[in-house]
Structure 1
Amino acid sequence: MIKKYMNIYSKTTKVLLMILGATLYSIGLEIFLIPNNIIDGGIVGISIMISHFTNIPLGILTFILNIPFFVIGYKQIGKTFTISTLFSVVCYSIGISIFKPIPGITQDILLASVFGGIIAGLGIGIIIRNGGSTDGAEIVAIILDKRSTFSVGQIVLFFNFFILTSAGFVFGWDRAMYSLIAYFIAIKLIDIIVEGIDESKAVFIISSKHEDISQAIMDRLGRGITLLNGKGGYKGVATDVIYVVVSRLEISKLKSIVHGFDENALVTIGSVDTSGKSYKKKAIH
């Protein structure tokens, strides 16, 4: 019974957060970007340009243009993701219609680009973090990712770059450039919301001074380290490889520590998902 209520609570929370995300996305579009002829990427960007020429309400356009992608996604990807995306699109399409009569807060193009990008990115990030999506283009990107050598991110970036460039022919090239500013700000906010500001990074360090470096990391960062047995492929010399997991904010300090002992040390860094108490920092006295 408890498990059942917890499941209901979890799903309800996700739905409410997706509604919040859709609301923020709508505000970013209608209060900041659209009044200043700054567009977003994806189907929304296409809808904004079509609406500009036809006067068809943007909320209706975004929903209609996304329908084919819902059908494709339902067949190719699965119902859970597609339904979540459908719900998100419905929510922000309604939100766009609600906020349409409200005049833009600022006519300063740069301020509109920055704050519109921040608010829209925040909203999209919340939606993605809770299992949804805001655009049918992402569904196509996921499908193409399975059939090509390009990643989802690369496909979406190419698609959006084409759309944002097209804005130059519709609203002028200055507006297209401001749209790129808003887009890249939004992307950064999405990254922070989805991955977290304290995103974990796995670091491998290869150095002949691994003992000094290991001790310095434990003393100055308060992180535990693991020594892996390794051997150089060229000379066949045995060496210990340092493995440590740190937060994104600690990367710069970690590099400083390593290269303070060995300027030639090889440091490789990758994003990881972590769990377990052993990851938590030890108190540094």
Structure 2
Amino acid sequence: MINELITKARLKNFMLIIIGSVLYAISVNVFTVPNDLAEGGLTGFSLILFYLADIPPSYTIFIVNIFILAIGYKFLDKKTLHYTLVANAIISVMLLVVTRYQFIPETTLLAPIGSGIFMGAGIGLIMLGHGTTAGSDIIAKLMEKYLGINIPTGLLMIDVFIVLPSAFIIGAENAFLTLINLYIQSKVIDFILEGLNPRKSFFIISKKHVEIAEAIENQLGRGITILDGRGYYTKERKDILYIIISRREVLPIKRIVEAIDPNAFMTVSHVQEVTGEGFSYLSQEVQAERITEAEEEWIEEQRVANES
């Protein structure tokens, strides 16, 4: 049973890496290169060599990543490195295979938008598969581990330092378009890694909290949590309604609260991701993934113990 779970988890990770690598190659060969745009990280470096010396990016990415992986070997776990080697090989192959189509739009902004969406989705899926595209991804992971900078922000910081020199090769206009591309990438990666199930949260403080809670439950069918609170100045005890909802339910709840108590204190916040009963169809899958990872680590520990 354990081996079956591990096999399924590995197959899932490989599929994520393959799909991500294809999207990565589409971004570079279909959107970026035909429109003389740059990229960040190692891809950006490989494109600079391509524009200057006509060296195929696949060769540069594969060779340089070998050296970067040697550095990453000291800092990243073996599983991530194994998947990264797979991702690096598949990306290099896909960059040679996905060359048939080119997208050169009449509207200039469509090129960086398309490139950012495909590249962000590609990198995000590869990371979901427990791999990286090596290069700046490994550096970003180290920044997250030792500096507390999240991966999308770290990638954006690294990419800017690569793109600025490329402005002298592709021109200032294309460099600015590339920055748009990188910004979109970071947002797509952020979305994929940190939340596939965005929601809104409500805090409602009202003397008519019971009526408000009943109306919300009856009209929208949403569960409500009542928190105990107390005003600092008045020392008065207050009941606080806490609700997690979808974005389309924001306006109905506002109308309910305003109709029952126009003086109610209400805040609305963005929630990146919600898992659990009633909110996420991914919750069981996430739990299974976590269980499988723990079992895989336990098996590895037992293997090492037996060998020693």
TM-score, normalised to structure 1, is 0.82
Equivalent runs, 1:166-185 vs 2, <5 Å: 166-185=165-184
Distance of 2:146 and 2:193 partners within structure 1: 26
Aligned match for 1:104, one of 79, 102, 111: 102
Structure 1's 244 and 15: CA in aligned 2 closer, same or farther, altered over 3 A? same
- Give the structure 2 partner of residue 126 of structure 1: 125
Give the secondary-structure state (helix, strand or coil) at the position aligned to 2:146.
coil
- 1:251: Cα distance to partner? 4.9
8 Å Cα contact 1:168/1:175 also seen in 2: yes
Is it true that 1:240 corresponds to 2:222 in the alignment? no
Unaligned runs of 5+ in 2: 282-308
Structure 1's 250 and 140: CA in aligned 2 closer, same or farther, altered over 3 A? farther
Distance of 1:3 and 1:199 partners within structure 2: 32
- Give the structure 2 partner of residue 39 of structure 1: 38
Give the secondary-structure state (helix, strand or coil) at the position aligned to 1:147.
helix
Structure 1's 110 and 139: CA in aligned 2 closer, same or farther, altered over 3 A? same
Structure 1's 145 and 117: CA in aligned 2 closer, same or farther, altered over 3 A? closer
Distance of 1:173 and 1:257 partners within structure 2: 52
Distance of 1:111 and 1:269 partners within structure 2: 28
- Give the structure 1 partner of residue 185 of structure 2: 186
Distance of 1:65 and 1:252 partners within structure 2: 52
- Give the structure 2 partner of residue 229 of structure 1: 228
Structure 1's 217 and 181: CA in aligned 2 closer, same or farther, altered over 3 A? farther
State the identity %.
32
8 Å Cα contact 2:205/2:265 also seen in 1: no
Distance of 2:253 and 2:88 partners within structure 1: 42
- Give the structure 2 partner of residue 276 of structure 1: 277
Instruction: Give a deviation string over 1:189-247, Cα, whole Å, max 9, x none.
Output: 33444455533455444445533443343244321011011123343221122222223
- 1:257: Cα distance to partner? 5.2
Give the secondary-structure state (helix, strand or coil) at the position aligned to 2:226.
strand
- 1:27: Cα distance to partner? 1.2
8 Å Cα contact 2:194/2:272 also seen in 1: no
TM-score, normalised to structure 2, is 0.76
- Give the structure 1 partner of residue 285 of structure 2: none
- 1:30: Cα distance to partner? 0.4
Distance of 1:198 and 1:259 partners within structure 2: 27
Give the secondary-structure state (helix, strand or coil) at the position aligned to 1:215.
helix
8 Å Cα contact 2:274/2:280 also seen in 1: no
Give the secondary-structure state (helix, strand or coil) at the position aligned to 1:139.
helix
Structure 1's 149 and 8: CA in aligned 2 closer, same or farther, altered over 3 A? closer
Distance of 2:13 and 2:236 partners within structure 1: 52
8 Å Cα contact 1:89/1:135 also seen in 2: yes
RMSD across aligned C-alpha pairs, in angstroms?
3.0
- Give the structure 1 partner of residue 76 of structure 2: 77
- 1:70: Cα distance to partner? 1.8
Instruction: Give a deviation string over 1:238-265, Cα, whole Å, max 9, x none.
Output: 1122222223554565556556644742
- 1:273: Cα distance to partner? 4.1
Distance of 1:226 and 1:28 partners within structure 2: 45
Structure 1's 25 and 256: CA in aligned 2 closer, same or farther, altered over 3 A? farther
Equivalent runs, 1:1-285 vs 2, <5 Å: 2-100=1-99, 102=100, 104-108=102-106, 109-148=108-147, 150-195=149-194, 197-247=196-246, 250-251=249-250, 254=253, 261-262=262-263, 264-277=265-278
Distance of 1:207 and 1:241 partners within structure 2: 7
- Give the structure 2 partner of residue 283 of structure 1: none
8 Å Cα contact 2:156/2:183 also seen in 1: no
